[in-house]
Structure 1
Amino acid sequence: MKLVLRALVVLLGLLIIVLLVNTIRLTSHQLTNVPPATPIHVPDSAIQRLAGAIRIPTVSYTDYALTDTTQFDEFLTYIKASFPLVHQRLKQETFNQYGLLFEWEGRNPSLKPILLMGHYDVVPVIQGTQRMWKKPPFDGVIEDGYLYGRGTLDDKMSVIGLLESAEYLLQSGFQPERTLFLAFGHDEETAGFLGAQTIAAALKKRSVSLEYILDEGGIIKTDGVSGMQKPVALIGISEKGYLSLELTAVGKGGHSSMPPPQTSIGMVAEAISKLEKHPFHARLNGGVDHLLDYLASEVSFGQRIVFANQWLFAPLIEKTLAQTKSGNASIRTTTAPTIFRAGAKDNVLPIDATATINFRLLPGDTVEGVIERVKEIIENDSITVSVLGKGNNPAAVSDPETPAFLTIHKTIKSVFPDVAVAPYIMLGATDSKFYSALSTAIYRFSPLPLNDEGTQTIHGTNERIGVKDYQNMIRFYVALIKNSQS
Structure 2
Amino acid sequence: MKIIGRIALALLALVLLLAAVVVVRTLTYKPKAGADLSQVKLAAPIAIDNARAAQHLSQAIGFRTISHQDKAEDQAPEWERLHAWLQATYPAAHAAMTREVVAGRTLVYTWPGSDPKLAPIVLMAHQDVVPVTAGTEGAWKHPPFEGVIADGAVWGRGAIDDKGSLVTLFEGVEALATQGFKPRRTVIIVSGHDEEAGGSGAQAAAALLKSRGTKAQFVLDEGLAIISDNPITGGQAALIGVAEKGYATLMVTAEAVGGHSSAPPADSGGVLTLAKAVTRIAQAQFPMKLDGPGGAMMETLAPEGPFAIRMAMSNRWLLEPLIIRQAAATPPGAALLHTTIAPTMLRGSPKENVLPQDATAWINYRIAPGDSSQTVLDRARAAARDLPVKFAWSRPPNEPSPVSSTTSEAWKTIAALARDTAKAPVAPALVTAGTDSRYLVDVASDTYRFQPMVFSMETIKMIHGTNEHMTLENLDRAVQFYARLIVTAAG
TM-score by length of 1: 0.94
Q: Secondary structure of the residue that 2:116 maps to in structure 1? A: coil
Task: Provide, for residues 10-37 of structure 1, a one-character-per-residue CA deviation record: whole Å limited to 9, x for no partner.
Answer: 5972784377347615157595799894
- The equivalences for 1:226-245 within 5 A come to 226=232, 228-245=233-250
- 8 Å contact from structure 1 (residues 22, 308) kept in 2: yes
Indicate the residue corresponding to 1:411 in structure 2.
Answer: 417
Q: Report the Cα distance in structure 2 between the residues aligned to 1:62 and 1:201, rounded to whole angstroms.
A: 25
AA partner of residue 221 (structure 1): I
1:350 aligns with 2:356: yes
Indicate the residue corresponding to 2:313 in structure 1.
Answer: 307
CA, structure 1 residues 36+102, in 2 after alignment: closer, same or farther (shift >3 Å)? closer
1:382 aligns with 2:388: yes
Task: Provide, for residues 357-376 of structure 1, a one-character-per-residue CA deviation record: whole Å limited to 9, x for no partner.
Answer: 10100110000110010011
Identity %: 36
1:87 aligns with 2:75: no
AA partner of residue 440 (structure 2): Y
CA, structure 1 residues 23+211, in 2 after alignment: closer, same or farther (shift >3 Å)? farther
CA, structure 1 residues 439+16, in 2 after alignment: closer, same or farther (shift >3 Å)? farther
Q: Secondary structure of the residue that 2:442 maps to in structure 1? A: coil
Indicate the residue corresponding to 2:56 in structure 1.
Answer: 49
Size of the alignment, in residue pairs? 483
Q: Report the Cα distance in structure 1 between the residues aligned to 2:20 and 2:369, rounded to whole angstroms.
A: 32
* Aligned-residue offset at 1:96: 1.9
- 8 Å contact from structure 1 (residues 254, 348) kept in 2: yes
TM-score by length of 2: 0.93
Indicate the residue corresponding to 1:96 in structure 2.
Answer: 103
Task: Provide, for residues 414-462 of structure 1, a one-character-per-residue CA deviation record: whole Å limited to 9, x for no partner.
Answer: 2222x22111100100011111111231100001111222221111111
1:428 pairs, out of 405, 421, 433, with 433
Q: Report the Cα distance in structure 1 between the residues aligned to 2:359 and 2:278, rounded to whole angstroms.
A: 12
AA partner of residue 82 (structure 2): F
1:467 aligns with 2:472: yes
AA partner of residue 400 (structure 1): T
AA partner of residue 191 (structure 1): G
1:114 pairs, out of 105, 115, 121, with 121
Q: Report the Cα distance in structure 2 between the residues aligned to 1:134 and 1:21, rounded to whole angstroms.
A: 51
Taking only aligned residues, the RMSD between alpha carbons, in angstroms, comes to 2.2
- 8 Å contact from structure 2 (residues 48, 175) kept in 1: no
1:149 aligns with 2:153: no
* Aligned-residue offset at 1:99: 0.9
2:301 pairs, out of 295, 318, 324, with 295
Q: Report the Cα distance in structure 2 between the residues aligned to 1:127 and 1:277, rounded to whole angstroms.
A: 33
CA, structure 1 residues 310+256, in 2 after alignment: closer, same or farther (shift >3 Å)? same
CA, structure 1 residues 83+60, in 2 after alignment: closer, same or farther (shift >3 Å)? same
- 8 Å contact from structure 1 (residues 37, 415) kept in 2: no
Indicate the residue corresponding to 1:254 in structure 2.
Answer: 259
- 8 Å contact from structure 1 (residues 31, 413) kept in 2: no
CA, structure 1 residues 314+356, in 2 after alignment: closer, same or farther (shift >3 Å)? same
Indicate the residue corresponding to 2:30 in structure 1.
Answer: 26
Task: Provide, for residues 136-189 of structure 1, a one-character-per-residue CA deviation record: whole Å limited to 9, x for no partner.
Answer: 111111111121111111101111111110000011111112111111100111
Indicate the residue corresponding to 2:76 in structure 1.
Answer: 69
Q: Secondary structure of the residue that 1:44 maps to in structure 2? A: helix
- 8 Å contact from structure 2 (residues 347, 359) kept in 1: yes
Q: Report the Cα distance in structure 2 between the residues aligned to 1:175 and 1:255, rounded to whole angstroms.
A: 74
Q: Secondary structure of the residue that 1:441 maps to in structure 2? A: strand
- 8 Å contact from structure 1 (residues 236, 423) kept in 2: yes
2:187 pairs, out of 180, 183, 190, with 180
Q: Which stretch has the larger CA shift, 114-123 or 258-267?
A: 258-267
Indicate the residue corresponding to 1:78 in structure 2.
Answer: 85
AA partner of residue 459 (structure 1): H
- 8 Å contact from structure 2 (residues 22, 311) kept in 1: no
Q: Report the Cα distance in structure 1 between the residues aligned to 2:473 and 2:139, rounded to whole angstroms.
A: 25
Task: Provide, for residues 327-357 of structure 1, a one-character-per-residue CA deviation record: whole Å limited to 9, x for no partner.
Answer: 0111111111111111233333222211111
Q: Report the Cα distance in structure 1 between the residues aligned to 2:383 and 2:281, rounded to whole angstroms.
A: 6
Q: Report the Cα distance in structure 2 between the residues aligned to 1:36 and 1:414, rounded to whole angstroms.
A: 11
2:331 pairs, out of 311, 317, 325, with 325
Return 5+ residue gaps in structure 2 as ranges: none
Indicate the residue corresponding to 2:449 in structure 1.
Answer: 444
Task: Provide, for residues 38-78 of structure 1, a one-character-per-residue CA deviation record: whole Å limited to 9, x for no partner.
Answer: 35233311110111110000112344343111110111000
Q: Report the Cα distance in structure 2 between the residues aligned to 1:25 and 1:455, rounded to whole angstroms.
A: 31
